[in-house]
Amino acid sequence: MTVVALIPAHDEAGRIVATVTAARAIPGVDRVFVVDDASSDGTGELAKEAGAEVLRLLTNVGKGAALDEGLARVREDADVLLMLDGDLGETASQGALLLEPVLRGDADMTIAAFPRPKIKAGFGLVKGLARFGIRTLGGRAGRAFAATAPLSGQRAMTRACWERVTPFAFGYGVEVALSVRALRAGLCVTEVTTTMAHDATGRDAAGFAHRGRQFSHVARALVRLAMEPRR
């Protein structure tokens, strides 16, 4: 069984080496594939030097499209797909916790739940919208699923799962769409407690702009999911 770690990254030069190094050290991971989404800081080159396979995109396409590009390159090998963000650094090693239930056959999709942040970033509007969408559009399973980490991009999926829930949604709508589609399909989705950490945005102009884009992308994904035929 081949496990592929798929890492989308844009301008993550500060953490990508540690992320790739940690991902490569996870027991059972066979390939680490980084999609460099038109970074301008050498992210792709650093990832390659750290031992990852790298696909460099010439135009910034956003997270969802970058993941689609990466999956197209690894889909024949990926019996299990481990999704990790490029800014996890050393904590990417906890991808092992996500793989365990999937490899045992106890879950079709696992989602990393992060610790509560020490510093408040936003006001919870994006998370609230994502939770509402999962509960409303995820069918009976969605209503029963208590999503504490609806926006977490750190996930492990079986082939049977990722074939049902892809292609990926646009931009930052990726995660909520994965959860909704998996729950609609009656797949077993489980959150896993971790101490993963990434670069959190603050309560400044850049942070609010980022969360505004997130909110827009999640809302767009939910509208499309509401009209999407059940898989």
Read off the tokens for 24. Answer: 């490569």
How would you write 154-213 as a 3-class SS string? CEEEEHHHHHHHCCCCCHHHHHHHHHHHHHHCCCCEEEEECCCCCCCCCCCHHHHHHHHH
User: Given pLDDT bands bounded at 50, 70 and 90, which one contains residue 230?
Assistant: confident
% of the chain with per-residue pLDDT over 70? 91
Instruction: Dump pLDDT digits (tens) for 85-94.
Output: 999 999 999 9
Judged against a pLDDT cut of 70, whether residue 58 lies above it is answered with: yes
* Cα-based distances in Å from 199 to 86, 145, 156, 202: 10, 27, 21, 9
For residue 34, give the 3-state DSSP assignment: strand
Domains of the chain, earliest start first:
3-227 (3.90.550.10)
Choice among 7-16, 74-83, 108-117, 200-209 with the minimum mean pLDDT:
200-209
What percent of the chain is modeled with pLDDT above 90?
85
Q: Does 207 score more than 80 pLDDT?
A: no
pLDDT of residue 208: 55
Give the tokens for residue 228.
Answer: 């999407």
Q: Are 141 and 191 spatial neighbours (Cβ–Cβ below 8 Å)?
A: no
Answer with the residue of higher pLDDT: 15 or 202: 15
- CA dist 33 and 36 (Å) reads 10
pLDDT(203) > 80? no
Confidence of residue 229 (pLDDT cuts 50, 70, 90): confident
Residue 38 predicted with pLDDT over 70:
yes
- For 106-146, the pLDDT digits (tens) are 999 999 999 876 665 556 899 999 999 999 999 999 999 99
CB atoms within 10 A of CB 83: 28
Q: How confident is the model at residue 204 (pLDDT cuts 50, 70, 90)?
A: low
The pLDDT assigned to 124 comes to 85
pTM to 2 decimal places: 0.93
Classify burial at 48, counting beta carbons within 10 Å of its beta carbon; exposed 0-12, middle 13-18, buried 19 or more: middle
Tell me the pLDDT tens digit for each residue of 169-178: 998 999 999 9
Average pLDDT of 159-166? 98
Report the 10 Å Cβ neighbour count for 152: 25
**Beta-bridge partners for 111:** 155, 191
| Tokens linked to 178 | 């994965």
Contact 159, 78 (CB under 8 A): yes
Torsion of CA 144, 146, 8, 31, to 10 degrees: -70
